[in-house]
């Protein structure tokens, strides 16, 4: 459809009742599954077949790292990782394992400019966060360096955080936690190399130190793998006086099947 035809269609729809206009749009552009692309009952959702393949992370899980347990060991049980290597942040929550449809959604958002996926993914993240979302004072995304933001045009973590804030009515701050050093891509790096790559890469602005001091921050990223990035970001927030940090991601790389 050319630009002139698109304008004519929009002008026509402005004079049509909302319900009828929505029906016409769905007739011209039928809703499709956000995962497999097949026709779906409604837009901004996944079909039942894709839904069944998602490995949602549900309790029982480590209350600190959010990693699932195969058996319920009772309330408050921590994983060996959380005990041996306590994280800089207070807790981590994730929607699902980083594979299958969830990995596809992350890649489409991040690399294919599918910003339309962010509201759906944010709704799932809100569910995974539960009461921790209502406890947060401010929602903060893991930032990109300004040069990478210029070439990519958007920050996928900021899009997720922005929609999350809109959905729950929480303050959104994407300016005061900064990536002050451009880092190499983390993909393909080992755990130690990832830590070295992002060490000292984040800082909080002078204004942010007043905004964040003593507050409960919900730090948002798209994927948790080794945790190097959110750990480095959390250190910067701690230095700024943040009282409590919950890391919320869409998907998490799990070492073995749930």
Report pLDDT digits (tens) over 154-203: 999 999 999 999 999 999 999 999 998 877 677 766 677 777 668 888 99
Residues in contact with 48: Cβ distance below 8 Å, sequence separation at least 6, in sequence order: none
* Alpha carbon distance 210, 54 (integer Å): 40
**How confident is residue 34, by pLDDT bands cut at 50, 70 and 90?**
confident
Q: Quote the Cα angle for 95-252-188, to 5°.
A: 150
For residue 219, pLDDT over 90 is answered with yes
66 versus 17: the higher-pLDDT residue is: 66
Confidence at residue 188, expressed as pLDDT on a 0 to 100 scale? 65
For residue 3, pLDDT over 80 is answered with no
Check whether domain 55-252 has CATH 3.40.50.300, yes or no: no
Instruction: Indicate the average pLDDT of the chain.
Output: 86
Residue-by-residue DSSP string for 55-88: -B--SSB-TTT-PBPSS---TT---HHHHHS--S
Question: Which sequence spans correspond to the domains of the chain?
Answer: 55-252
Confidence at residue 258, expressed as pLDDT on a 0 to 100 scale? 42
For residue 257, pLDDT over 90 is answered with no
Confidence at residue 29, expressed as pLDDT on a 0 to 100 scale? 63
Confidence at residue 21, expressed as pLDDT on a 0 to 100 scale? 44
Rounded average pLDDT over 133-161: 92
Nearest to 139 by CA among 123, 116, 162, 113: 162
Rounded average pLDDT over 32-48: 81
Nearest to 254 by CA among 42, 59, 88, 55: 55
Confidence at residue 146, expressed as pLDDT on a 0 to 100 scale? 87
Confidence at residue 4, expressed as pLDDT on a 0 to 100 scale? 53
HSE-CB for 38 with a 13 A CA cutoff: 7
* Alpha carbon distance 20, 220 (integer Å): 37
**How confident is residue 1, by pLDDT bands cut at 50, 70 and 90?**
very low
Residues in contact with 83: Cβ distance below 8 Å, sequence separation at least 6, in sequence order: none
* Alpha carbon distance 45, 119 (integer Å): 10
Nearest to 158 by CA among 149, 167, 168: 149
Rounded average pLDDT over 114-121: 94
What H or E segment, with its residue span, contains residue 251? strand 244-252
CB 161 within 8 A of CB 140: yes
Residues in contact with 65: Cβ distance below 8 Å, sequence separation at least 6, in sequence order: 78, 79, 81, 82, 87, 91, 92
- Give the range among 55-64, 176-185, 223-232 with minimum mean pLDDT: 176-185
For residue 15, pLDDT over 50 is answered with yes
How crowded is residue 112: how many other Cβ atoms within 10 Å of its Cβ? 10
For residue 22, pLDDT over 60 is answered with no
85 versus 43: the higher-pLDDT residue is: 85
User: Phi/psi at 217 (nearest 5 deg)?
Assistant: -105, 135
């Amino acid at each position: 459809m050319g630009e002139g035809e698109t304008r004519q269609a929009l002008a026509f729809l402005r004079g049509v009742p909302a319900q009828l206009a929505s029906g016409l749009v769905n007739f011209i552009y039928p809703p499709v599954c956000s995962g497999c692309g097949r026709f779906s009952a409604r837009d901004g959702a996944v079909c039942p077949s894709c839904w069944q393949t998602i490995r949602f992370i549900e309790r029982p899980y480590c209350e600190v790292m959010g990693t699932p347990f195969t058996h319920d060991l009772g309330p408050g049980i921590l994983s060996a990782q959380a005990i041996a290597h306590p994280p800089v942040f207070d807790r981590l929550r994730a929607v699902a394992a980083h594979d299958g449809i969830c990995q596809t959604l992350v890649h489409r958002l991040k690399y294919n400019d599918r910003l339309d996926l962010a509201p759906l993914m944010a709704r799932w993240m809100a569910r995974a966060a539960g009461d921790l979302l209502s406890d947060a004072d401010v929602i903060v995304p893991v930032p990109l360096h300004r040069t990478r933001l210029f070439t990519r045009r958007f920050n996928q973590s900021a899009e997720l955080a922005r929609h999350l804030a809109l959905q729950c009515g929480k303050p959104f701050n994407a300016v005061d936690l900064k990536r002050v050093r451009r880092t190499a891509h983390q993909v393909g790096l080992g755990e130690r190399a990832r830590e070295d790559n992002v060490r000292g890469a984040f800082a909080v602005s002078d204004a942010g130190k007043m905004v964040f001091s003593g507050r409960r921050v919900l730090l948002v990223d798209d994927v948790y793998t080794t945790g190097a990035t959110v750990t480095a970001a959390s250190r910067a927030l701690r230095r700024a006086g943040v009282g409590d940090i919950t890391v919320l991601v869409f998907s998490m790389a799990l070492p073995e099947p749930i």
